[in-house]
């Protein structure tokens, strides 16, 4: 959504708060708008309010300048000097124009011309124009150079900001809003340079206005009716400024819009459905085309002109609102200077040439003057936004992670880890941030060092959550998790995570090469031999070798090729197939094949398993705990069996926690099985114990076994 200053301090915006928020219907849209305080009816009030807020952001400008001094201080200083020169030149031109006018006046009154003076003034006027052109040229070159250097400097700062955030912090909507307005790893824009250059621009525009005003006053003083003409030349601008403030103007105010119209929602849903390649299979296979088309027609007929997006409705409303008495006055006022000139010409016929020249000069100057004023106002508005983004860019480096680091090193004795780590949950309950529901309720269990623990249960029962809490992706809401008898929150996070290898169910592959994807399982120890071995253990070598670029193949190219207007016969370009539709699915764990590579879900899962194998083998001395969340979900039965066999063999003495809802033959080998349902651990024991108990585990086991009889 477009909005004014992105986030202000103050109480939360509540659409139901009638006292501070007004509600308007715009077609199918509900617009909620912060009520204007009385003073804000004045056209400059919102700008003043924003300027007051900007004061808090100014220290960050200073900090940025200090940061930039060693990188491009001399270029910045040069740019500033050029800008000052560029701002003063229009005033100098105006002064020369005033002098030319004077020459004309003397020529009319006295019929004489001082030729030398005339050449000097004309030469000065031309030199001014040339100087402005040259300065603009050099400034644009400097602008680009500064932009490049500053962007490069801040890109490492931004990389650091993004890389250090943990999962709950990154998912926090407040943090993501802060990041989206201040941090962008890919865009060509650059928050710091935008803020600094805006500030320079405003300073320069202010200086230009001041210098021009002073010269204008000096020139007008010498002209008959000069001030009167200047006033009427700028009158229509003043009126248009007052006229802008329609009732629904949203600039500077908090606002939110939503639609609850079911027909409109359905129309938009149908449009998305047919325009995205993602749903094409189901659409065609389900024979849905005719039904959807008829449905769409009915909805559009029913909603008529109301089926329009918010901005369309808003513009429509604003155009209706804009016709007022003042707006009707705006155009006739433009003619006023000519009328005034005609009357004066009648009154003083001898001064027609001077009046004509002065009228031209005045109109030209006031037009550029008023344009500058409105530019200045507009720039001041965006400056406030840019400065606040700059503040957020610096503040983002101090965002506190929600999972705090511990202080105790782990393990105390490095030799013990490879013989497994004991794991204990004591009365652990957990709710995901922002969720009311408990994902785990009072879970307690203990797995001794070197044991194989299998968590089984229904969908959504909390199996993956158990693994996420062990890796401290999230912290428990209540209760304690201990490894080797020590509370995990007290341990250094880096040490804790170095002691375990984890494969998530919703793993993702990185937009890097296949080699890097595997090597990042243990980047510090990665060698080509180790990566190859991990790929073999994950069952990935065969299909990767068949790819044209083998292990150098990018799972998803992070940089798209650009093309346009290619003849239809162009099937490949740069050794890759041309995507004429440009519609690609996203890469997400196991659920989809790779749009770029045409790899299947199972093949992608093998790559993820290979990555985990980088740190899972018996020989890996630093890892004592292996966590696997459904690693075989997309594998065929043979691949699944091979994987389980390899896992058992490679695990050695390490502790392994395995989550699955397919019992397979893994549970038979388990030292501890936990049966979960609806956030609770309902049964624990070995396979035999649980069968003897004849509870839910036994019932589900029999159900799965019967399917194969
Ligand atoms: N990031 C999240 N935010 C909010 N709720 C979540 C999140 N992830 C999971 N949940 C909820 O927590 C509960 C437990 O989810 P979890 O993924 O642990 O289940 P699971 O047993 O692994 O399920 P499955 O067998 O389908 O993988 C579910 O109700 C789920 O909707």
For the segment 249-305, what is each residue's pLDDT rounded down to a tens digit?
666 677 888 998 888 999 999 998 888 777 877 777 777 888 899 999 999 999 888
For the CA of 455, the nearest atom of ligand 1: 21
pLDDT band of residue 352 (cuts 50, 70, 90) is low
Strands 655-660 and 672-677: unpaired
543 Cβ below 6 A of ligand 1: no
Q: Kindly list the distances between the CA atom of residue 532 and the CA atoms of 18, 27, 253, 266, 361, in Å, as whole numbers in the listed order.
A: 65, 61, 58, 50, 78
In the prediction, which pLDDT does 100 show?
83
Do 637 and 667 meet the contact criterion of CB atoms below 8 Å apart? Answer: no
Q: How far is the CA of 686 from the centre of ligand 1 (A)?
A: 25
pLDDT > 70 fraction of the chain, expressed in percent and rounded: 82
Tell me the best of 434, 443, 463 to mutate to test the pocket of ligand 1, counting ligand atoms within 8 Å of each CB and taking the most.
463
32 pairs with which residues across the strands?
23, 256
Conformation bin of residue 27: beta by default, left when phi > 0, alpha when psi is -120 to 50: left
- Residue 61 alpha carbon to ligand 1 centre in Å: 44
What is the atom index within ligand 1 of the atom nearest the CA of 630? Answer: 27
pLDDT over 80 at 594, yes or no: no
Q: Which of 73, 93, 79 is nearest to 199 (CA)?
A: 79
Q: Whose CA is nearest to atom 27 of ligand 1?
A: 459
Q: Which of 417, 420, 474, 469 is nearest to 444 (CA)?
A: 469
56 or 380: which leads in pLDDT: 56
Q: What is the percent of the chain with per-residue pLDDT over 90, rounded to a whole number?
A: 30
Residue nearest to atom 30 of ligand 1 (CA): 460
Q: Which one is predicted more confidently, 202 or 598?
A: 202
Ligand 1 center from residue 441 Cα (angstroms) = 13
Mean pLDDT check: name the lowest of 115-119, 235-239, 455-459.
235-239
- Helices 115-163 and 352-395, interaxial angle, to 10°? 20
457 lines ligand 1 (CB under 6 A): yes
Q: Name the range with the highest mean pLDDT among 201-215, 319-333, 469-483.
A: 469-483
**Domains, in order of start, for the chain:** 72-242+324-394 (no CATH), 262-302 (no CATH), 417-499+625-709 (3.40.50.300), 510-621 (no CATH)
Give phi and psi for 526, each to the nearest 5.
-70, 125
Kindly report, residue by residue over 69-83, the tens digit of the pLDDT: 998 999 999 999 999
* The pLDDT of residue 4 is above 70: no
With the most atoms of ligand 1 within 8 angstroms of its CB, the residue from 465, 630, 676 to mutate is 465
660 Cβ closer than 6 Å to some ligand 1 atom: no
Distance 391 CA to ligand 1 centre (A): 36
Question: Which pLDDT band holds residue 156 (cuts at 50, 70, 90)?
Answer: confident
Determine what percent of the chain falls in helix, strand and coil, rounding each to the nearest 5.
Answer: 60, 10, 30
Q: What is the DSSP letter of 5?
A: S
Peptide bond into 408 cis (omega under 30): no
Mutation test residue for ligand 1: of 171, 433, 464, 676, the one with most atoms within 8 Å of CB = 464
Q: What is the pLDDT of residues 390-439, one digit of tens each?
A: 888 888 888 899 999 999 998 877 777 777 899 999 999 999 998 999 99
Predicted local confidence at residue 688, as pLDDT = 92
Q: Which residue puts its alpha carbon closest to atom 1 of ligand 1?
A: 432
Q: Read off φ and ψ for residue 655, nearest 5 degrees.
A: -80, 135
Pick the closest to residue 195 from 477, 394, 449 (CA basis). Answer: 394
Environment class of 13 (CB within 10 Å of its CB; exposed 0-12, middle 13-18, buried 19+):
middle
The 10 Å CB-count burial string (b at 16+, else e) for 65-93 is eeebeeebeebbeebeebbeebbbbbbbb
């Amino acid at each position: 959504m477009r909005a004014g200053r992105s986030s202000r301090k103050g109480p939360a915006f509540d659409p139901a708060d009638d006292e501070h928020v007004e509600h308007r219907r715009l077609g199918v849209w509900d617009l909620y708008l912060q009520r204007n305080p009385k003073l804000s009816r004045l056209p400059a009030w919102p700008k003043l309010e924003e300027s007051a807020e900007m004061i808090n952001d100014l220290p960050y400008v200073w900090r940025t300048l200090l940061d930039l001094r060693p990188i491009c201080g001399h270029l910045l200083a040069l740019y500033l000097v050029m800008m000052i020169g560029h701002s003063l030149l229009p005033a100098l031109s105006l002064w020369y124009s005033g002098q030319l006018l004077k020459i004309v006046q003397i020529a009319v009154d006295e019929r004489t011309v001082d030729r030398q003076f005339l050449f000097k003034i004309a030469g000065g006027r031309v030199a001014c124009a040339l100087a402005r052109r040259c300065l603009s040229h050099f400034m644009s070159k400097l602008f680009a150079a500064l932009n490049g250097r500053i962007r490069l400097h801040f890109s490492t700062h931004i990389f650091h900001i993004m890389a250090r955030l943990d999962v709950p912090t990154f998912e926090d909507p407040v943090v993501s809003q802060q990041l989206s307005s201040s941090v962008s790893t890919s865009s060509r824009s650059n928050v710091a340079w935008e803020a600094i250059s805006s500030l320079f621009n405003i300073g320069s525009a202010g200086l230009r206005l001041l210098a021009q005003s002073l010269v204008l006053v000096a020139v007008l003083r010498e002209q008959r009716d000069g001030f009167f003409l200047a006033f009427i030349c700028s009158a229509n601008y003043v009126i248009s400024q007052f006229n802008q403030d329609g009732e629904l103007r949203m600039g500077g105010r908090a606002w939110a819009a939503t639609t609850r119209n079911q027909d409109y929602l359905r129309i938009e849903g149908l449009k998305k459905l047919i325009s995205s390649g993602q749903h094409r299979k189901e659409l065609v296979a389900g024979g849905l085309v005719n039904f959807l088309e008829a449905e769409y027609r009915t909805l559009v007929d029913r909603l008529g002109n109301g089926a329009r997006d918010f901005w369309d409705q808003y513009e429509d409303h604003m155009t209706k609102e804009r016709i007022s008495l003042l707006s009707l006055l705006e155009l006739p006022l433009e003619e006023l200077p000519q009328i005034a000139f005609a009357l004066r010409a009648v009154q003083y016929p001898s001064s027609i040439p001077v009046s004509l020249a002065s009228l031209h000069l005045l109109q030209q100057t006031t037009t550029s003057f008023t344009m500058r004023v409105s530019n200045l106002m507009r720039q001041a508005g965006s400056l406030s936004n840019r400065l606040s983004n700059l503040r957020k860019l610096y503040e983002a480096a101090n965002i506190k992670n929600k999972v705090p680091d511990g202080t105790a090193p782990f393990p105390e004795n490095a030799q013990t880890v490879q013989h497994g780590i004991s794991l204990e949950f004591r009365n652990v309950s957990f709710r995901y941030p922002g969720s009311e529901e408990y994902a785990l309720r009072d879970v307690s269990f203990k797995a001794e060092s070197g044991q194989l623990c299998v968590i089984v249960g229904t969908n959504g029962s909390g199996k993956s959550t158990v693994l996420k809490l062990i890796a401290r992706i999230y912290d428990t809401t209540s209760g304690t998790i201990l490894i080797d008898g020590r509370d995990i929150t007290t341990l250094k996070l880096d040490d804790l995570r170095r002691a375990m290898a984890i494969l998530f169910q919703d793993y993702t592959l990185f937009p890097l090469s296949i080699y890097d994807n595997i090597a990042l399982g243990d980047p510090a120890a990665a060698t080509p031999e180790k990566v190859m071995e991990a790929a073999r253990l994950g069952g990935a070598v065969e299909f990767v070798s068949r790819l044209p670029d083998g292990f150098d193949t990018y799972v998803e190219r992070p940089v798209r090729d650009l093309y346009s207007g290619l003849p239809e016969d162009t099937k490949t370009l740069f050794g890759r197939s041309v995507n004429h539709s440009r519609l690609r699915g996203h890469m997400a764990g196991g659920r989809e094949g790779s749009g770029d590579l045409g790899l299947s879900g199972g093949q992608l899962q093998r790559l993820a398993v290979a990555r985990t194998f980088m740190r899972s083998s018996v020989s890996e001395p630093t890892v004592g705990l292996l966590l696997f969340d459904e690693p075989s979900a997309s594998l065929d039965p043979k691949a699944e069996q091979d994987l389980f066999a390899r896992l058992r063999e490679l695990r050695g003495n390490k502790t392994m926690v395995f989550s699955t809802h397919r019992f397979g033959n893994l549970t038979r080998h388990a030292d501890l099985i936990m049966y979960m349902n609806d956030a609770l651990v309902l049964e624990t024991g070995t396979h035999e114990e649980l069968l003897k108990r004849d509870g839910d585990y036994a019932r589900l086991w029999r159900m799965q076994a019967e399917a194969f009889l």
